[in-house]
Structures are given as structure tokens and as C-alpha cells.
Amino acid sequence: MAVYLEDVSDMVQPIFYEKFDSQSSDYWGQTTNKIFKPKQRVFGGQGMTFQVNLGPADSVRFSNNMLGAIAAPQRLKPAQYNLRWSETGTCDFSRTSASVAASYFDIENKSRGLIEDFVMEIYNSVDQSYEEKLAIHRNVRKSARLALVNGSPKQNNRENYTDATSGSVTNTTGARVSFDAGSRAYFRNNVRLDFYSAAGVLHAGNVLVTDINRVDSSIGVKFSSGGPSGENSTGDLSTVADNDEIFFAGERNSGIYSLGEYNNMPTTGDSFIGGVDRTSSDFRWMIPTATRADATTLAATPSKITKSMFNVLGEAMGYVDESGVGGIFQMCPEIHNTVRDEIGEQSFFQLPIGDDRMKRFAHFGSIGLIYQHPTFGVTQFVADALAPSNDVRFLTPDTWISGSYAVAGLQKMPGDGGKHWYRMNESVPNTGRAIIFKADWVGTQVDLCTMPWKNGVIKNVSAT
């Protein structure tokens, strides 16, 4: 009589596949961080005061009177603003932080019995995660809003929004949320989000993203409870509604000054870097050259991008600067596809190796379409998954500074004995230290544009 494997199942050992394949995309930000490489600057003290020349002296006058008086002397028009640093008061820098915690046994175990050393996997991913988050925050506004809820959330019982069950969303069912006004690349599995009303009321906080459908722009979210305190959700998913604002957990109104905020059109009472109001006549130079930026156009439905819109921006910037130094057009992939159709593939060309004009693109690599314009000069049209869905930005890289306070970048905080890790205290006070180790990182960030008017933006456009 034959003996089958099923008959001796207690002897069977599981066999695991030898790879630990990731089911999430690599960290985003490579495109943004290639095309946008500001000069690094470390600030100290109480920040820095920037002095600018709003206009040269208007000294020269013509006259028909050969014996008339010499023209009266004139003055240039200076202005200044402050990049403010304060640990407890108003500060124009934004802080970023990260931490990893693990038990002594998990650290020492390494990969014994595990397919990967999971502690070091988390530890080593911090720098990549920082680069991704920095790129995202450079593209979104200072509010740090990622997107808006689009329509009523459904239950998280299907992988797409259309087939998910409508109504009766609870913390138990989870939610399937469609979103707009944001990039599909902002979201990934296992990140945590907050949902706020436009009035600033938290509807659901620290909820876990289970999956992303990048075809229909929807995410599945799960309400977490009963785990470590940092992973527990708050609020009620049933209260999440159309046009709620979506943020990374804990980040509402905690973004950075960068591309997103500079290219946002100010309104009366605007408070920008240094507390200045960019709608005031002395500080309007801090607004990029912007088309389709009047309040009426911005309030309307976005219009399909056309070749003529580039011409309008080019005409405007032709009266701003005649150097034609070149730059980068940054746009989302959908608009990039439309632009290629609008302008025509035959209008783009490849710069030959050794061409001096290629040097200006060498710092971010050849990742876009080369186009020559009578105003902009030689430019690249770059599709960036992190770019906003309703703007096309013209960037002049040499006009940007990436600023940090005291030390540049994300820094490892000192731990025990000169190492990065340190032992935490026991949960019961005055009983000694625990077997839990922790490692922390802290950094500061602000991006400054020294000549915003040399940068441009086409506002309120869409791919269709």
C-alpha cells in the first residue's frame, strides 16, 4: 500500500521562497530630485535677512532743451525680508524627523530564522523615505495637503471604487476613498493618513493605507486599534466626506516653503517667508511669472493644456528677461502626454553629446524632451509623477537655494556610547532601562527662490 505525503503531514516542513519581494513601488522622488537641485545653504543665528533690489535708479532723461537743467538724481529701490528661525516662536523652517525602535533580541537575532534582517531593513530605509517625503513636500503646498476626497467613500471590500459597496462605511468595514487634486504617487501601502474637513475638523486620523488603485485614483484605508499607540487610529471613517483634505498623519499645516507654495497664488492677507504679504506692492516680486492666475480663471474648471498657453507664458517672460538661459518645464505625466500631442513629436530634438547646451542639463540627467523656444531658450519638458495635476511649472534651477538650520539634511541623533542606538527607559519610572533600543533622526528644511520672477507657471490646466 502506498504512503502519501498527506499521511505524514506532521513531518512536513514549510518551504519558503528565497526572496522577500516588495509589493510596493520603489521610493518616489527621483525625478523631482534630479530636475530640482538647489544650491545647499546652512543658516544659523536667528536666520538670515535678504536684501533685494526692486528696481535700478531711474536716472536718465531725454530733453529738447539743450541748456536745460540736468535730470534730477534718482535712487534704486531696496527691500528686505527675513528668513526666520525660532525654536519656540514663528519659524520659516520646517522640521523633519524619523525613528526606529526594536528590542535587543530582534537587533541581535539579525536574519536568523528570518528571510531578511527586518530591523536593519527599516533602519536603512529611513534615508530613502526622507528623499521621497522631501520630494513630495517640495511639490505640495505649505499646508502639506496631498489631495481631496472625491465623492462619498465606500466600504473597503473591493479593489476599485466602482465595485466597492456604497454606504454603511464604518471603522470595521474600512473605506475605499476616491481622490483628486493630487498625485497618485503620493500614496503607498502601509502609510498613514489623516482626513480633515475644509474647516479643519479631524474626521479620521492615523488610518492605514491598505492598497492603491492607480488606474481609478482610489485608496483603501483601514482603521487600526489595539496595537502600539503610534499605530492606533482615531475618529470615525463614516464621517469622511467629499472634498475632505488628505494629509500624511500628523502633518496638517506642517509642510515646507518650496515649489508648491511659491507657485500658489497669494490672496489678501497672505503670509509668506518672513511674514510678508505677497499681494502688497513691495513684495509682488516674490510671485513667479504666472498666467491664468486671476481669481476668475482659478475658480473655473481647469482647461485643457494647449500650445498657445506656452506661447502666452513665453511672451510674458520675454518681457521679463532676455537672456534665454533655458530651464525645465515640470508637469504631471498626463499633461506631458497631451503636450507632446499638442506641440508635436517632431518639434522635440536630441542634443548631441559634446554640445555646450547639454551642460545645463547634465546635473539632472537626460530624462525629458528637449525643446527650443525663442524666449525660454533650450528647455526640457519633464514628466514628474509628483508634479501637481493642474499646473505646468517653468523652473530656472540656478535661482533656488535649499536651506537648513545649523546642519544640512536629515541627521542621526547621538545615542549611547557614541553610537546611534540608545536604550529606552522602562515604562515604570525609576526602575532602570528597558531592553528596547531606539534610533532618531532630525532635520530642518526650507527652499528659497532668489529670483521668483525668472520662474513661471501656467495655472489651472488639465490633460483633457
Residues with Cβ within 8 Å of 282's Cβ and at least 6 positions away in sequence, in order, are 54, 79
Q: Which residue, 171, 154, 172, is CA-closest to 163?
A: 154
* pLDDT at residue 202 in the model: 98
pLDDT digits (tens, 9 = 90+) for 202-245: 999 999 999 999 999 999 999 999 888 789 999 999 999 999 99
Q: For the domain made up of 288-403+451-462, give the CATH fold.
A: capsid protein of prophage fold (3.30.1930)
Residues of the chain with CATH 2.40.30: 143-254
Q: 163 falls in which pLDDT band (50, 70, 90)?
A: very high
Using alpha carbons, list the distances in angstroms from residue 373 to 211, 344, 348, 397, 416. Answer: 42, 14, 11, 17, 58
As a whole number, mean pLDDT of residues 241-265 equals 97
Question: For the residues of 12-70, what is the DSSP string, one character each?
Answer: ------S----SSPPPS-HHHHHH--PEEEEE-TTEEEEEEEEE--------S-TTSPP
pLDDT at 60: 83
Our measurement of the distance from residue 377's CA atom to the centroid of its chain's CA atoms, rounded to an integer in Å, reads: 27
Average pLDDT in the 27-32 region? 79
268-292: pLDDT as tens digits: 889 999 999 999 998 999 999 999 9
Distance CA 316, CA 308 (A): 12
Distances (CA, A) of 68 to 61, 73, 74, 348: 11, 15, 18, 56
Q: Where in the chain is the domain with CATH 3.30.1930?
A: 288-403+451-462
CATH code assigned to 143-254: 2.40.30
**Nearest alpha-carbon partner for 179 in 148, 152, 206:** 148
- Against a cut of 0.75, is the pTM above it? yes
| CB atoms closer than 10 angstroms to residue 412 | 15
Q: Considering only CA atoms, which of 245, 253, 146, 255 is closest in space to residue 201?
A: 245
Beta strand pairing call for 377-383 and 47-55: unpaired
